[in-house]
Structure 1
């Protein structure tokens, strides 16, 4: 697995975790629990977006 594939895999994994957090938040009955899952979803999405940005930067780097 090369660097690009690893980044793609990590981004997909982070997005899956964000989706799982969103679903768990929807299923929660307590507002504080929903809020915690919402924050987790946001963080996982930020991590996935960061991996996507690294992928884009890597793809446009000289010699890539």
Structure 2
């Protein structure tokens, strides 16, 4: 086991149409997420924290 704290991690969330990004994605169900993405489309969100990263510019959308 390492004796020091290593680098942090991140999360990738694959969100199907109609599903909102929530704190459960980060194993923090009580953390509030103001998901401003277009929920009518499949999308991907990636980050380390929900704080300040839930506006539409932080999501990637499937291109048809």
* TM-score, structure 1 normalization: 0.25
Q: Which has the larger radius of gyration?
A: 1
Quick check: which one's helix share is greater? Answer: 1
